[in-house]
Structure 1
Amino acid sequence: MLTTDVATREELVRRASELVPTLRKNAAWSEENRRIHDESIEALADAGIFKMRVPARYGGYESDTRTLVDVAAQLGRADGSTAWTASVYWIPTWMTCLFPDEVQDEVFSTPDVRVCGTLSPTAMAAPVSGGVVVNGKWGFVSGAWHAHWQEIVAIQVSPEGEPMPIMALVPRSELEIIDDWHTSGLRGTGSVTTVAQDLFVPAERVLPLPAVLTEQYASKINAASPIYRAPLLPVASASSVGTVIGMADAAQEAFFERLPGRKITYTNYASQSEAPLTHLQVADATMKIDEARFHAERLAGTVDTKGEQGEPWTLEERARVRADMGAVCRLGKEAVDIFALASGGSSIYTDVPIQRIARDIQSVNLHALMHPNTNAELYGRILCGLEPNTFYI
């Protein structure tokens, strides 16, 4: 049985909902300064958000993915960038739990440890005595400014064998940050580029990525835990979608807050709320949020149930959870777009939240792993009996 019971889930969701005023207050600062406000980071830590994927033996909650969805949805109501960063921390934190237990002892010795990371193999690694030396850089590293560790992926090349992607853990302080995060959306995530120059990584903090992608994990203590024996990509998918639900809910909330007293300019409608067009718009957008929530809950339910039962994953199930993630992104964006379009010209002012929400959710949909078209194509390909054209499944 999973460690997180209903009461614990409710408690974490309650804590996340209580953070909404603080995170909303800091959202504009985070966007302007292109990183999460320190006060928001401290509030997330105090609420236990960074402990949700940490093993219980280190004081963590070992939260299931349904809890991640519900908590991220609350955070996303406040600020998409903050919710996105929290969800990104959850994924490499979970990946840390796949490493040898002595490595986990080192990483989780830091209270409220934050691990950022990426799956892009944009660096090279050379084997040396006792480990590897890494050179290269990684982009889109959300939360790097406040992270203690970074999970990296590099291509290891040796004279004796074929090039092989590896996954490693390194202290974030050993990487240089290039402050290049100048974007139109998710600006507050601080998703900068990090650089390794002749960085030595000891062998115990290095895993072959193909082994990780096929559930050949190195942790002995976590091997029996339902949470830590799931495949990486379904776990990452379930960790991400709650933020999208939260942003769609935030757009709905922002729209209705501005609706009373608004008219439709250059028409005879003195009240926007009386126009049949408005009725159709809010109904359509709300139904899309409901549909997105269905896909998010089905995704998380699949990950949690299969983890509890310890059953192997079929190729179709792996592709379907990615399709569910893509559907959440597509439907969430469509809902936000409807509310944004119905909000009128005054909504483009920077102090009106819906314009930021629209830019943030657009950025999520452009993410390579979350792109609705990419995920739908993969699912359709599997349904048609073809082999996947990616290792990330």
Structure 2
Amino acid sequence: MQRARDLIPLLRSHAREADRERHIPEAVIEALDEAGMWQLTVPRRFNGHETDITTFVRAVIELGRGCGSSAWVTMISNAVSWFVGMLPGDAQKEVFGAKPNVRLCSVKTQTPDARRVDDGVIVSGRWTFASNSLNAEWALIGVPVLAPDGSWVEAGQGLVPMSDITIEDTWDVTGMRGTGSNTLVADEIFIPDHRVLPLDSAGEGGVPTEYSDEALYQSAYVPVLALIPAAPLLGLATTALELSIEKLPKRPVVYTGYKSSADSPTVQLAVAEASAKIDMAYLCMWHAAEEIDAVAKADETMPLLDRARIRRDVAFITRSCQEAVEILLDANGASCFAHSNPLQRIWRDIETGSRHGMLVPGVNMEVYGRALLGADLDLWTT
């Protein structure tokens, strides 16, 4: 944790540049590398850290306190490394064998343009919103799992080297601008079977790695994918609170008699309420992450209702971060929307990041509500 925490000043100093230039500065990439942040979920067999999920999200939260985009790309790269740890050993050697600090990007979008060949699949297509595309050496893309006759079996994800991929510069958005979540384009690329994971199998816990004693890669698939994108948001919200506590006592409340915002009951209540929301978000984060780890280490399958409850927890974390920052923006006033003020960037990053498909609060709450009421759920909701 300390190595991630030590990066906060550097990340903050480059956060505006990442936002403006729409990519992570090289100085930050190198610092993340030197601190071992690209190896959080790489197996120890390849000199990685092989952290548990709790440690993973703790590190990403710390990075999020410095820069939302830097935390996001670190989270994405390690999410893919975690995915690689589920694949057969041959695939793991290809990715980690020569370079355990490899950087990866990911996009779940499925391509319909695929055909079955001996020992693999040939795909062409476009995959949008590939976070970390500008820094990655490998990409995880959505590909179908096909039967020998070429018929569709289920959705899958396959690993391809970035040398097989063209990047289209399409990521010009309001928040999380530094993530480089561009479009990947491929034309007739071959992906061998050992680099493809059927997603239903992953959801059921049937991953093909030969190293079944490595608990990290047995962690509940969808709960992990839902929880980890919330970590950068929690780091961002924490910084918004820290900045507000630092700055508000030095500012008057305009059109009132308060020369310091610290004397205003309205501002006092706002800071207290925002801090409560953030603290509750942390409690939900630790509870969910520790539960995922405990089940994986016990070599058990997480019950459906518990998996759905983690989706609910993610909804609460996401909404709490959004609401806390909104409250703090109100307390800080219009001046926090100056480009030079990091609060406006934090707000933009949270509002953009929280729209990730795994974070949308209404969808996640619906999943748990359906589970509580006994309605049907498929693997990809839990």
Relative to the length of structure 1, the TM-score reads: 0.93
Tell me the equivalent position of 1:50.
38
Question: Aligned to 1:145, what secondary structure does the other structure show?
Answer: coil
Superposition pairs for residues 212-291 of structure 1, below 5 Å? 212-221=202-211, 223-291=212-280
Using the alignment, how far apart are the partners of 1:157 and 1:220 within structure 2? 23
Match of 1:31 in 2: 19
* Distance (Å, rounded) in 1 between the aligned partners of 2:230 and 2:357: 14
Contact 1:238 1:303 in 2 (8 A): no
Is 1:325 the counterpart of 2:314? The answer is yes
Residue 358 of structure 1 is matched in structure 2 by 347
Which stretch has the larger CA shift, 246-255 or 119-128?
119-128
Assess if the C-alpha contact under 8 Å between 2:230 and 2:318 holds in 1: yes
User: Is residue 18 of structure 1 aligned with residue 6 of structure 2?
Assistant: yes
1:89 has 2:77 as partner: yes
Q: Which of these residues, 46, 57, 64, is aligned with residue 69 of structure 1?
A: 57
1:72 & 1:307 partners in 2: Cα distance?
A: 20
Match of residue 138 from structure 2 = 149
Which of 175, 179, 183 matches 1:193? 183
CA contact (8 A) 1:124 1:157 kept: no
Structure 1 pair 139–28 and aligned structure 2 pair: CA distance change class (3 A): same
Task: Return the letter of the residue paired with 2:184.
Answer: T
What are the equivalent positions in structure 2 for 1:343-382 lying under 5 Å apart? Answer: 343-382=332-371
Distance 2:259 2:157 in 1: 60
| Alignment partners' CA distance in 2, 1:318 and 1:284 | 29
The equivalent residue for 1:8 is none
Counterpart of 2:151 in 1: which secondary structure?
A: coil
Deviation at 1:184, TM superposition (A): 0.5
Percentage of pairs with the same residue = 35
Distance 1:313 1:156 in 2: 25
| 1:299 maps to 2:283 | no
How many residue pairs get aligned? The number is 380
Q: CA deviation at 1:201?
A: 1.3
CA offsets, 1:45-82, max 9 Å, x none?
Answer: 10011111011010011101111121111111111111
> After superposition, what is the alpha-carbon deviation per residue over 1:190-231, rounded to whole angstroms, capped at 9, x for unaligned?
11111111111122212322222221111102x111111122
Deviations 1:304-357 (A, max 9, x none): 110111122111011111111111111011111111111111111111000000
Structure 2: gaps spanning 5 or more residues: none
How many Å separate the matches in 1 of 2:282 and 2:209?
33
Moved more, 147-156 or 314-323: 147-156
Partner of 1:103: 91
* Deviation at residue 117 of structure 1 after TM alignment: 0.9
Work out the CA distance in 1 between the residues paired with 2:238 and 2:32. 20
Unaligned runs of 5+ in 1: 1-12
CA contact (8 A) 1:123 1:138 kept: no
Structure 1: distance between partners of 2:155 and 2:57: 30
Q: Which residue of 2 aligns with 1:205?
A: 195
Q: Matches of 2:165 and 2:151 in 1, distance apart?
A: 28
Between stretches 235-244 and 110-119, larger displacement belongs to: 235-244
Between the aligned partners of 1:311 and 1:164, the Cα distance in structure 2 is 25
Q: Is the 8 A contact 1:65 1:238 kept in 2?
A: no
Deviation at 1:185, TM superposition (A): 0.6
Deviation, structure 1 residue 123? 4.5
Aligned to 1:114: 103
* Aligned counterpart, 1:176: 166
1:19–1:315: structure 2 CA closer, same or farther, 3 Å change rule?
same
Q: Tell me, in whole angstroms, the C-alpha distance in 1 between the residues paired with 2:282 and 2:233.
A: 9
Residue 5 of structure 1: aligned partner: none
1:156 CA displacement = 4.6
For 2:106, give the aligned amino acid. G
